[in-house]
Homo-oligomer: A and B are copies of this chain.
Amino acid sequence: MAKEGALDELLTEVLSRYDNSPSPHLKEVTCAAIRHLHAFAREVNLTREEWFAGIMFLTQCGKISDDVRQEFILLSDTTGVSTLVEMLAYDASSSSLTDNTVLGPFHAGGSPDREFGESMLVDPDDGDRVVVRGVINDVDGNPIEGVLLDCWQNASNMFYAVQQPGIQSADNLRGIYHSQADGTYEIRSIRPVPYPIPSDGPAGDLLKKNGRNWWRPGHLHIWARHPDYKDLITHVFDVESEFLDGDAVFGVQRSLIREFKPDDGGELSTTFDIVLDRA
């Protein structure tokens, strides 16, 4: 084991090279990353072989990534870093605001506009039909009109439309809803099912080697946007879904779990009210 003093000197020398950085913020982030990298390597007494395995792991994560597959996001999701960044960005913990959660890798822009109460199911699917409805308010309880609810969800075969071009219709289980003057919205869809995250790459390998599962509980994604309010990226989880206690990407918040029950019209439905923060 090399002397701690020599290792400290090395770190000091590395950090000193940033003394004249023209970008104070980039310097701060870069130097923090370097300090934590050194601390990690020293803590585990990283061997040459482990170091090289790490280099190859990261290289493979880059190689396997493309327009529809992002292995570094998967790695970030499965280590809780994505959730951490969301928590840093949007803190609902001490207020009435709706909790947020991870974006995930399956959102796509350009979803079609949907009418109040329209179903976003386009393709044949034997899943249970469900309704998600609620009111969107500000923190003072005033309804917000014209909120865009960008929604997306997987089909009963477990895949999102973006994962199956040519198999699912491009617009299947995707849609943009709008809140009405009284703040209400209504989405028709199918009951979401659990699904495995892509596990055939380096991030999945690492989960498997550590004995971790690579499944997510069933959920509907909602990204709420309005010019006067902060973006809210969240999920609606089904209380009956498997994996609520073991979500591979740490997206579950207790406050986001709902029960689907038959409503007065005989439909399986749940209420998901939303509170947005002023921008």
Give residues in A with beta carbon < 8 Å to B: 1-3, 6-7, 10-11, 13-14, 17-18, 20-23, 26-30, 32-34, 36-48, 50-51, 55, 58-63, 65, 70, 72-73, 76, 79-89, 91, 93-94, 206, 209-212, 246, 250
Contacts and interface: CB of A to CB of B under 8 A. Distances in A.
Contact of A70 (B59, B72, B76, B246): B59
Given A23-B209, A87-B6, A79 B34 contact: yes
Contact of A14 (B20, B45, B80): B80
A206 B34 CA distance: 13
14 contacts: A10-B84, A10-B250, A17-B210, A18-B210, A18-B211, A33-B40, A34-B80, A41-B84, A42-B84, A46-B84, A51-B82, A55-B72, A58-B72, A62-B65
Nearest to A83: B10
A2 B93 contact: yes
B51 A85 contact: yes
A46 B21 CA distance: 20
A59 to B, nearest CB: 5
A26 B54 CA distance: 12
A51 B26 contact: no
A41 B30 CA distance: 12
Contact of A91 (B3, B34, B81, B84): B3
